[in-house]
Amino acid sequence: MEMVTKLTKAGIGLAMLFMFSSCTQEAKNETNAEATEVEAETSAAGSEVSSEMGEAGNEVDSELNDFSNWVKDKTARAETATEAEWQEFETEYKRREAELDAKSSTWDEKTKREWEDVKDSWNKTENKVQERLRNLGRENNN
């Protein structure tokens, strides 16, 4: 009988140990689930910010690319543009340049370099056109 009592006590002890470890495991699972949920929320928030930043970056790239293409088109037409056409180009250039310049303080270094390259290209073309138009004016006065 004594042996049965000892086995019963041991069985009760093991049952209690199992029950406590089960509770501890359940608490760990809940804590892990909460941590996973917080991590997912943080990751989602980070993705939203990255997405918004990416969209802003894409918008800048798109605007700069559009303006760069416009400059290339007008540069290609510079040799044949009349003085009136060139003045229209210059007016449009100044308007668009001012819009992009206002945004350029937030750009990364690569985008700022690209922006400077576009402006340099325009300035070189502008100098050539002004020289051409001056020469045309001299020829017409002679």
Q: How far is CA 53 from CA 36, 56, 89, 103, in A?
A: 25, 5, 32, 14
Assess contact for 99 and 49: CB atoms under 8 A: no
pLDDT band of 140, cuts 50, 70, 90? confident
Report whether pLDDT(36) > 80.
Answer: no
* pLDDT tens digit sequence for 78-91: 999 999 999 999 99
Token pair belonging to 13 = 């002890």
Contacts of 125-130 with C-beta under 8 Å, sequence gap 24+, read: 125/71, 125/74, 125/75, 125/78, 126/90, 128/78, 129/78, 129/81, 129/86
Token pair belonging to 52 = 């918004």
pTM of the model: 0.59
